[in-house]
Structure formats: C-alpha cells, structure tokens
Amino acid sequence: MGYLKEVQGKGVHDHFNNNKIVVMSSSGSCVGVPGAVIVGAGPSGLAAAACLKQRGVPSLIIERSNCIAPLWQLKTYDRLCLHLPKQFCELPLMPFPANFPSYPTKEQFVAYLEAYKTQFGLELVYNHTVLSAEFDDQCRFWRIKTIGMKQEEETEYVCRWLIVATGENAEEVVPQIEGMEDFVGTVLHTSSYKSGELFSGKNVLVVGCGNSGMEVSLDLCNFNAHPSIVVRDSVHVLPQEMLGRSTFGLSMCLLKWLPIRLVDQFLLLISWFMLGDTAELGLTRPELGPLELKKVSGKTPVLDVGTLSKIRSGNIKVFPGIKRLKRHSVEFVNGKVENFDAIILATGYRSNVPTWLKESGMFSDKDGLPHKAFPEGWKGESGLYAVGFTKHGLLGSSIDATRIAQDIEVQWKGEATHFMSFPHAPPTQSLLKS
Ligand SMILES: Cc1cc2nc3c(=O)[nH]c(=O)nc-3n(C[C@H](O)[C@H](O)[C@H](O)COP(=O)(O)OP(=O)(O)OC[C@H]3O[C@@H](n4cnc5c(N)ncnc54)[C@H](O)[C@@H]3O)c2cc1C
C-alpha cells in the first residue's frame, strides 16, 4: 500500500512524554494519541485538559479555530463582561488574579484563559475541524477524523478516551422569518455584532430578549442608535445584584437552606421592589419562578445591566413577535408596522454534536445535548465524556472537568501500559484500514 511510516519521538514506550505515533498515507495522516482527545478549545476543553494534566494523563485538544476560546475572542461584543461574578466562573486549579474586578471584561477573561493554557502546558492542534468521531469496536479505540484549513488536509486521530467539549454554543441559530430575503437592511447575528458604533442614528430591531439581546439593545442606545427589542415569550428579568450581593451568589446561598419555590418568591419580591412590574414594560414573567424555570427548561433569567431603565424611559421600544419582514419594515403580530435599517438576531446558539459524533446513546439527536441532565451527563460508554453541556455555565464545566479527570486517571493508571505497549491496540495496518 506504500505507506510512509514515521514515528514521532524515539521514546514511544514512554507515554508520559506525550509522544504520538504518526503514520502518513497518501490519503492523510493517522495520529495515535496517548491519553485523551478533547474536541474544542473553549473554557470547558481547557479545563478538562488541565485537570487531566494535573493527574498525569496526557491529552490533545483539537480546535477548529485559530485560537483558544474563539466564542469569546471572535464572536462576542466589545462591552461584554462575565455575566456572573468571577468566583463562579474560574476554571479548576487556577483562580482569577486578585486584581480582576468582580465581573471581568472579556479581554481579562481571555487573558486568564491564555495564562491557564500556558500554566498547564496544554497541547493543542488549531485549524482542524472534527468531521466525525466513531468508536471502533474491533480495536476498541476512538477514531476522530479532522479536516484542516486546506480541504485536502485530512487527519485521523486514534485514542482511548474522547472528551466532547464543543459546547452548547457551537453554531448560531438563525430563525427563518417570512420575507427575510426581501429586507434590504443589514441582518446579522449577535456573534458578528461588536458595538453600536456602526448603527448610530439608525433604527435597529434586536430579535430576542436573553442576556445578549438585552445587552446589545443597551449598547445600541449608548451609541445613539434607536433600538427596539422583540419580546416574543415571557421572560424573567432580575437585578444583577440585590442586597449588596450578586443575585446568582445570593440564590446559591439561599438554596442551601430553603426550597427552590421559596427562594424564587424571595427573588421575585426583591426584583419587584428594585425593578417594578416588568409586565408594564412588555416583559411578562413566566408562571414558574426563575430558578425553577431554569431547572425545568434550562432557560436562564436575564440579569439586568441597565436595559430596563432605558426601556422605561422609552429609549428602547418593546415589540411582540414578528409576523413578516418587508423591504424596509417589519410587521409585528399585533399588526403594527415599523421601519428599520438593521436587524440583529440575538437568537442564540445550539450544539453541533449530532453532526459529527457517530454515537446514539449519550447525546440527543434533537438538541445535541446529553440525554442525562446535570450533574449526570458527563460520562458515556466506551471512554466517551462530555464537558460543558450542563446549562450551568462555567461552574458546570469545572465540575464536569474535575469528574472526568478523576475517572480517566483511574483507568489510565490501571492500564498504564495500554497504548504504547499496545496490549489491545490495533496494529498500524488496522489503524489505516479506512
Ligand atoms: C455572550 C456569552 C456570555 C456568557 N457569559 C457567561 C458567564 O458570565 N458565566 C458563565 O458561567 N457562562 C457564561 N456563558 C456561557 C458559557 O459558559 C460560555 O459559553 C463558555 O464559553 C462555554 O465554554 P465551552 O468551552 O463549553 O464552549 P465554547 O466556548 O463554545 O467552546 C467550544 C469550542 O469547540 C470548538 N468546536 C466546535 N465544533 C468543533 C469541531 N467540529 N471541531 C473542532 N472544534 C470545534 C469551537 O470552535 C469552540 O472553540 C456565556 C455565553 C455567552 C454566549
């Protein structure tokens, strides 16, 4: 078959040196990875790699982008700060610097992640998109196929443990709205929105009233644009801080002592005192309380960073759902028609796991999230793991990463010779069979 065989590193028996076996063929290369392959270099992937490293287990992170945490570096708006206080967002084994504010800016968060990567000496491959990952029953290894920047650059990674860290926000959700192709103004997703500077003096419609939609509306206001926001469903808006503490931190604390319904009632009472009746502004509250709703549906309450007062002062208008778009205007379900220069879709993201992971037991085909809810969704069969699909933000990622590393460490130590001495690893020809 004319394979060119190259073994990278002479000490292939010393798997603690992170050596890999690289086999080249005319159709691409095949890389044997000792330890785990982690797909995705966001905060979750980095956390998993660091926890493994600390326990002496090597790993390789494969990232489709050209940097770590591209969601934060490339797809978020300029004014973004962490929505939750820093103590709930730090990754395992390394706290945020003491001089960081309570809500670090995105630049500070990215700097922290860069320092994290360096501190643990994490190994990454950039610009490689995972096209498929499948467990090979015959040789009992995962086969992960990637494509590089140049489309012909295919690589197959073979490993014992596969950690899915592609996140809940892998792909933009772009709704199909009637007449969208007729609208002549700008239409963009929040992932491409940087600041309101470009929209000064313009009428802009923000579709979606989650944390991003609310904050983008505020940002547009601050740049003298004329924003309106579509609020289709009911939504809980809470103050970011109450009684001198972060609402999130206070909730966590109260939940230790009180039932969730009582905590919800407390949060809603304080919110009513601080924000007034949000229904009067067009933001009706769901029947379930904010924490119970989050638990049941995963829907996160909006933490107000100043948008409500702009709605109250009339600087941001609220509209119900969209019926259709026309050339220059939008018709709403209540029959009103308004002219807009631009539409910003704050319509969120979804997981892309079903597009590449060839496995049906752990992840749902419907939403790309683990079937089992947090805290049970981190472990699948045959050495498959998931980090960061908890709907509990970075705190959830940290908990997952720690558990995964503990679990793999036990197997790694038990099978200390599993890869390099190949007790049940496939011969090279078998690795290259496809
Ligand atoms: C605007 C915004 C603000 C947020 N603020 C907070 C906050 O304050 N606190 C908090 O706890 N949470 C917050 N979150 C939620 C969550 O914690 C973050 O989204 C966080 O980035 C999740 O990390 P992750 O590593 O799981 O996913 P991501 O950061 O999305 O990383 C996944 C990585 O996988 C890569 N990838 C995807 N598919 C492939 C593929 N096929 N092949 C190779 N690589 C692939 C992606 O390029 C990406 O780098 C926020 C989310 C958003 C969108």
For 199-258, the DSSP string reads GTT-EEEEE--SHHHHHHHHHHHHTT-EEEEE--S---EEESEETTEEHHHHHHHHHTTS
The answer, yes or no, to whether the previous bond of 375 is cis (omega within 30 of 0) is yes
- For 337-383, list the strands marked E by DSSP: 337-339, 342-345, 349-350, 357-358
Chain length of the chain? 434
Looking up tokens 């994290």 gives 116
- Residues 182, 88 within the same domain: no
Instruction: Kindly state whether residue 69 falls inside one of the protein's structural domains.
Output: yes
Atom of ligand 1 nearest to the CA of 392: 11
- Residues 290, 344 within the same domain: yes
pLDDT per position as a tens digit, 360-401: 899 999 999 999 999 999 999 999 999 999 999 999 999 999
Ligand 1: lining residues by beta carbon, under 6 Å: 39-45, 62-65, 69-71, 76, 80, 82-84, 89, 129-130, 165-167, 169-170, 212, 352, 356, 388, 393-395, 397
pLDDT of residue 22: 72
Instruction: Kindly state whether residue 109 falls inside one of the protein's structural domains.
Output: yes
Return the SS3 of 81.
Answer: strand
Compute the distance from residue 90 Cα to the ligand 1 centre, in Å.
14
- Residues 393, 333 within the same domain: no
Regions of the chain with pLDDT less than 50: 1-18, 421-434
Instruction: Kindly state whether residue 431 falls inside one of the protein's structural domains.
Output: no
pLDDT of residue 149: 87
- Residues 297, 344 within the same domain: yes
Counted domains in the chain? 2
- Residues 144, 261 within the same domain: no
pLDDT of residue 280: 97
CATH number of the domain enclosing 134: 3.50.50.60
Instruction: Kindly state whether residue 116 falls inside one of the protein's structural domains.
Output: yes
Query: Which of 417, 409, 414, 383 shows the shortest CA–CA distance to 56?
Result: 409
Decide which of 316, 348, 380 is a domain's last residue.
348
Decide which of 348, 380, 405 is a domain's last residue.
348
Instruction: Kindly state whether residue 15 falls inside one of the protein's structural domains.
Output: no
Compute the distance from residue 169 Cα to the ligand 1 centre, in Å.
6
Distance CA 85, CA 97 (A): 13
- Residues 186, 156 within the same domain: no
- Residues 225, 149 within the same domain: no
Ligand 1, atom 10, residue with closest C-alpha: 393
- Residues 87, 206 within the same domain: no
**Looking at residue 157, what DSSP letter applies?**
E
- Residues 357, 273 within the same domain: no
Decide which of 327, 348, 369 is a domain's last residue.
348
Instruction: Kindly state whether residue 161 falls inside one of the protein's structural domains.
Output: yes
Q: Which domain holds residue 71?
A: 24-170+351-414
Strands 237-239 and 302-304: parallel
- Residues 131, 260 within the same domain: no
- Residues 305, 373 within the same domain: no
Judged on CB neighbours under 10 Å (0-12, 13-18, 19+), 407 is middle
Compute the distance from residue 70 Cα to the ligand 1 centre, in Å.
8
The whole model's pTM is what? 0.92
Ligand 1, atom 32, residue with closest C-alpha: 166
- Residues 295, 178 within the same domain: yes
pLDDT of residue 153: 85
Instruction: Kindly state whether residue 43 falls inside one of the protein's structural domains.
Output: yes
Instruction: Kindly state whether residue 160 falls inside one of the protein's structural domains.
Output: yes
